[in-house]
Structure 1
Amino acid sequence: MFTKAFRVKSNTVMKGSDRRKLKADISAAFPSLSADDLNDLVPNKEELNVVKVYAHKGDAVTLYVLHKNPMFFQLEKQIYPTVYTLWRYPDMLPVFTTWAPVVQKLLGGADLMLPGVVASSTGLPDIKKGGCCAINIVSNRAPVAVGTAAMSSSDMRSSGMKGKGVNVLHTYMDQLWAFGDKTFPPVIPVKDTLVQVDGEIEGVDCVEGGQEDVVRNEGAESEGQESSETAAVESSCQSLQDLALGEKENEEETEEFKEEEVQGEEEDSRSPQEAMDALLFQCFLHALKSKVKKSELPLLTGTFLRKHMASCCPKGKHIDIKKSSYKKLSKFLQTMQKEHSLVRVKELSKGVDSIVEVDWSNPELRSFRVPDDWEPPENSVDEGESCEVTYQPPEITHLYGVTARLEPLFLDAQKKKGTVLQASEVRTIITDFVKNNELVHETNKSYVKINPVLCDCLLEKSEYQEVEVLKWDDLFGRTLSKMQSCHQLQFPGQAPVVRKGQVEPIDITIASRGSNKKVTIIKNLEGFGIEPSVVADTLQYRVQASYVLHDVPGAKDRQLVQIQGNQVQHVGKLLLEQYQIPRKYIQGLDKAPKAGKKK
């Protein structure tokens, strides 16, 4: 199950109530453990992590990690110990013994066949079909694999020790072992006499059909023999390490030839949502590793997705967050922050998130390697202009908030103070209020009669005795004018953001510096989801002028762009044509130099 790399989905610290439940589950699954053993494996005060992973074939597995070592893994509600746990408690599970050359095959993903089993003088362990068991090698009781029995011990004997004995789930030297501190098995001397159950080991294969038992280590307990047994243990462990390392080298040599086939199998075994999650995580690590520079931080999340992650997508694939389990970019980045500690995301301005910090030393990021099948996107443009093509402006909607004075007018519609509405919703509510209270003028339906509620909400004190009716348009106009002005920004891939007040436009100004040199200053780009550094890079590329970024006085975590010369014309063209910002939200376009005059 763990012969190939698995994908980490989440990594969280376990709560106290969950620890108690885990301890109860372990106690029920492994009754041989004492209370002290359980407290040692699931301590109350030390950090214990729950890591949810997807195995390479798509199986969802939960790992329980203590001191950076996975101690248990849970698959389909069944909990299993890892080799790290079994090295501390070797008698925790029923154990089948085999030879080191057989274990070499287990490390490659094979299951244990019965002809390779070596039994003690007491016979096979008592186990039911599907029961959890371990595998060790002769001369060392330290388990090197964990799995489930393919048949009961009675069926094994009745079958003449032929067929499959153990379905192997986890082995020493696999990726689950590598997730820990990668220590080698301890040397635990064998207590019982070992007997070859069926067949003799010759090289790697077991020869079936042998009738005589081969007795080993029978009856000798002298000091010289004990020394030879210890040497045999150490030799057995060393040979196991050498065989495992040799197996890994062989796998690496053949991996490149099997890569496309394996990738196809992985994709077929995963749901489309899981495949998109994996693609997002791959592109995320690729972008952090190869694209993002420290000087670019803080980096707008939308820009990071469009400019960096999209360019890291393998050929023939396409990133679509809506098809993932995250649904939104903000949720994906929060997961990367909380569960992987790869980045830190901060809301620098209301509704606009930015990546403000990257943990370059994170093990997942350091160990990431760019996939061999990745190719730079065709027809790539200069980095300074790459964002221009993919940027999508926010949809801006004007809204109106219910004030305390107007609240009685909206009570029938159950809209309280602070409720934000569109103009069409306000018109509908006012129309229903007028009709429900029969305020339409009897002879001229273009007028509405003023009742006490309308009088208090819409009329000035000087109009109380004079105004008895209002035209419909005047009624709507007065209502909207007395409501709080708000607006909504809908950024692509993000939740709508509602802000009070009018939309703050992008401000372009011209200032003079030493020797009467002109500079162009651009403010409030962040409010429209535009990163100042990207605009500055693009302008520098277009006009071949230097720029600097300054923090905006009085505005936390906002920057203005200052570029040499009067570049209003170029800034306007960039914002209007490439970023598609409506002209009414750009202030200062009239400051462009007149034709025929020196800039």
Structure 2
Amino acid sequence: MFAKVFRVKSNTVIKGSDRRKLRSDASSAFPTLTPQNLAELMPPKEELNIVKVYAHKGDAVTVYVHNRNPIMFELEKNLYPSVYTLWRYPDLLPAFTTWLPVLEKLIGGADLMLPGVVVPSSGLPEVQRGTLCAITVVGNRAPVAVGIATMSTKEMLASGMKGKGINVLHTYRDQLWAFGDKSNIPTIGPLETPLALTKDEQNYDTSQVSLSETQVPETVLENLNLREEETDVPQMTPEEIEDEQDLQESAPIQLSPQETMDNLLNQCFFHALKYKVKKSDLPLLTSTFLRNYLFSCCPEGQQVDIKKSSYKKLSKFLLTMQQRKILQVKELSKGVESIVEVDWKHPDIRAFVPPASAPEAQIATEGMAEAGEKQYQPPEITSLYGISAKMMPLFQDTGHRKGDLLTQSDVRSIIITYVKTNELVDPDNKNFVKINPVLCDCLLDKSEYNDISFLKWDDLLTRCLDRMQHSQQITFPGRSPIVRKGNIEPIDISVAQRGSNKKVTILKNLELYEIDPSSVANILQQRVQASATCSLLPGSKDRLQVQIQGSQVSHVGKLLIEEFKIPRKYVTGLDLATKPGKKK
């Protein structure tokens, strides 16, 4: 569930009533937790936060956080402990044991298959279908994952330990774990020796599989039977795993998908720097470099997906290249990074040779226009409203603090709840709200104190939003959201008069939406068959403006709205388009 990055909807301090309810729910869900345990887990005088998130598959999850660490999460009114909680109370849930190499699969989002389960001498724990379970690894009682049993213990044994055993919800090293302090797995007493071990295997050094370090070994065993297969052997012992590794070492080296993607990313990166990027292109937006340069160097039939590489993000990859002194990246404007310098004399660039299979057309410098049109994806822009000191009395009962950011729907819901709780709806006309002292101080000007006793619902909500601090959350595909104070500047289209009664169309603020001005200039120059240039925006050190000969507002608007998919409300000047004359 948390294998990929989730989106945070809200983060608020829990109210006293909600804290008591959480304790009651936790006590019911986990009877072994004593009142003292609950007091340690949720100290009454310490801050506890409720974080509402959306998982990558759209599931709405409520996460309870104490001291930066998620302690529990709630899904469909069911409460589940995090690994941080299970490390404090390792016997909270019945635990199934697996081998260390299986953990890497679980972290990647796989469920626990029964062939990967280790059967201890005391037998498997007694569970029923739907029971909440923990997962541990050989040699350590500290749980590494939480999941739900897909069948009872009797059904597992009756199936010959084949098929799916546990649906995994949360693991060590997933995004929920990363939301906390990212502490390592503690070492808690070794488990019992598995039934399948021989006398020699019982001397197997379990310290070799300790998880005390952050990085889990990358061992991936294809024959570990994570999926249901026809086999007479229910599980593999440590000695069999070592034998399998010896066989793999003698066979040709097989790169993992992640290593393959790393190699492809490096190949396209050096290809782009050596044959495509020119000194005149700098400074170059990192997003433009990815779309228009790096992607176009990808061999036919292959595709670069940074999320499948070990870097996960373009910024992390470029930081690595910067540390190798191949290039330099700077944040020229807030939240927007650009490549400002490239060392073309670097040995790695000089030594790069394109693969023999690469077509000559890839080696030559290509136009960026078509690539820019097809691959650009617009950002998702959400208006947020910050709680100011003056508006604080309206929100303090909900547990919010000064400066907290809320969506318009959140603000609307809180105001409606406040009005109904305080019985402020006018009984004679429900379209009006009575003004009490709190609403008077928050929403009315001093000159209105004696004149206004009621407000319409729409007027009430509009005044509330106007008096809050406006911000914008900008989310580009595949990247973490960026929050900017104030309203984002729209893309501005204007028409100016030049000498000899000539007109030019000027386009500004493209960089704020990570659109490359030079790419837009090239596209427009080809389409309207007119001169198009980029120049430094007056009064700015790092932003460009595009200037096209003639009145080209309609062409520019069509490009931005229909092809770059920029919402119309973020483009100004469209009304300047020349209207077609009336037919005679």
Using the size of structure 1 for normalisation, the TM-score is: 0.51
Counterpart residue number, 2:337: 353
> How far apart in 2 are the matches of 1:469 and 1:404?
23
Q: CA 1:470/1:512 → structure 2, altered by over 3 Å: closer, same or farther?
A: closer
> How far apart in 2 are the matches of 1:405 and 1:469?
20
Amino acid at match of 2:522: D
Alignment of 1:545-564 (within 5 A): 545-564=530-549
Is the 1:484–1:501 Cα contact (8 Å) retained in structure 2?
yes
> How far apart in 2 are the matches of 1:282 and 1:266?
26
> How far apart in 1 are the matches of 2:456 and 2:394?
17
Alignment of 1:139-178 (within 5 A): none
> How far apart in 1 are the matches of 2:357 and 2:332?
37
- 1:520 is displaced (CA, Å) by 1.7
Counterpart residue number, 2:358: 374
Q: CA 1:319/1:485 → structure 2, altered by over 3 Å: closer, same or farther?
A: same
Counterpart residue number, 2:310: 325
Say whether residues 1:508 and 2:499 are aligned partners.
Answer: no
Alignment partner for residue 479 of structure 1, among 459, 464, 473?
A: 464
Q: Give the 3-state SS of the residue equivalent to 2:341 in structure 1.
A: strand
Q: CA 1:459/1:367 → structure 2, altered by over 3 Å: closer, same or farther?
A: same
Q: CA 1:323/1:432 → structure 2, altered by over 3 Å: closer, same or farther?
A: farther
Q: Give the 3-state SS of the residue equivalent to 1:577 in structure 2.
A: helix
**Gaps spanning 5+ residues in structure 2: where?**
1-249
Counterpart residue number, 1:135: none
Counterpart residue number, 1:279: 264
Alignment partner for residue 341 of structure 1, among 317, 325, 337?
A: 325
- 1:504 is displaced (CA, Å) by 1.4
Q: Give the 3-state SS of the residue equivalent to 1:385 in structure 2.
A: helix
Is the 1:344–1:358 Cα contact (8 Å) retained in structure 2?
yes
**Gaps spanning 5+ residues in structure 1: where?**
1-264
Q: CA 1:419/1:322 → structure 2, altered by over 3 Å: closer, same or farther?
A: same
Q: Give the 3-state SS of the residue equivalent to 1:269 in structure 2.
A: coil
> How far apart in 2 are the matches of 1:309 and 1:589?
33
Is the 1:283–1:313 Cα contact (8 Å) retained in structure 2?
yes
Say whether residues 1:404 and 2:373 are aligned partners.
Answer: no
Q: Give the 3-state SS of the residue equivalent to 2:506 in structure 1.
A: strand
CA deviation map 1:334-363 (0-9, x unaligned): 2222x2222222222222222121111222
Counterpart residue number, 1:453: 438
Amino acid at match of 2:468: M
Is the 2:391–2:442 Cα contact (8 Å) retained in structure 1?
yes
- 1:531 is displaced (CA, Å) by 0.9
Q: CA 1:533/1:594 → structure 2, altered by over 3 Å: closer, same or farther?
A: same
Counterpart residue number, 2:527: 542
Counterpart residue number, 2:279: 294
Q: Give the 3-state SS of the residue equivalent to 2:527 in structure 1.
A: helix
> How far apart in 2 are the matches of 1:340 and 1:532?
29
Is the 1:449–1:470 Cα contact (8 Å) retained in structure 2?
yes
CA deviation map 1:567-593 (0-9, x unaligned): 222222221222122222222223333
Counterpart residue number, 1:315: 300
- 1:534 is displaced (CA, Å) by 0.8
> How far apart in 1 are the matches of 2:497 and 2:251?
61
Alignment of 1:113-128 (within 5 A): none
Alignment of 1:483-498 (within 5 A): 483-498=468-483
CA deviation map 1:531-580 (0-9, x unaligned): 11111111122223223322112223001112222222222222122212
Amino acid at match of 2:330: K
- CA RMSD after TM alignment: 2.7
> How far apart in 2 are the matches of 1:347 and 1:319?
24
Alignment of 1:12-23 (within 5 A): none
- 1:388 is displaced (CA, Å) by 0.7
Is the 1:510–1:519 Cα contact (8 Å) retained in structure 2?
yes
Q: CA 1:410/1:331 → structure 2, altered by over 3 Å: closer, same or farther?
A: farther
Is the 1:488–1:496 Cα contact (8 Å) retained in structure 2?
yes
Larger Rg: 1
Alignment of 1:254-265 (within 5 A): none
Counterpart residue number, 1:576: 561
CA deviation map 1:20-39 (0-9, x unaligned): xxxxxxxxxxxxxxxxxxxx
Say whether residues 1:391 and 2:376 are aligned partners.
Answer: yes
Q: CA 1:434/1:269 → structure 2, altered by over 3 Å: closer, same or farther?
A: farther
> How far apart in 2 are the matches of 1:457 and 1:467?
13
CA deviation map 1:203-250 (0-9, x unaligned): xxxxxxxxxxxxxxxxxxxxxxxxxxxxxxxxxxxxxxxxxxxxxxxx
Is the 2:268–2:298 Cα contact (8 Å) retained in structure 1?
yes
> How far apart in 2 are the matches of 1:482 and 1:266?
69
Counterpart residue number, 1:305: 290
Q: CA 1:448/1:592 → structure 2, altered by over 3 Å: closer, same or farther?
A: closer
Q: CA 1:467/1:556 → structure 2, altered by over 3 Å: closer, same or farther?
A: same
Q: CA 1:575/1:569 → structure 2, altered by over 3 Å: closer, same or farther?
A: same
Using the size of structure 2 for normalisation, the TM-score is: 0.52
> How far apart in 2 are the matches of 1:587 and 1:548?
20
- 1:502 is displaced (CA, Å) by 2.4
Amino acid at match of 1:495: S
Is the 1:401–1:417 Cα contact (8 Å) retained in structure 2?
yes
- 1:487 is displaced (CA, Å) by 1.8
Q: CA 1:357/1:274 → structure 2, altered by over 3 Å: closer, same or farther?
A: same
Is the 2:276–2:366 Cα contact (8 Å) retained in structure 1?
no
Seq. identity, % = 61
Amino acid at match of 1:359: D
Amino acid at match of 2:338: S
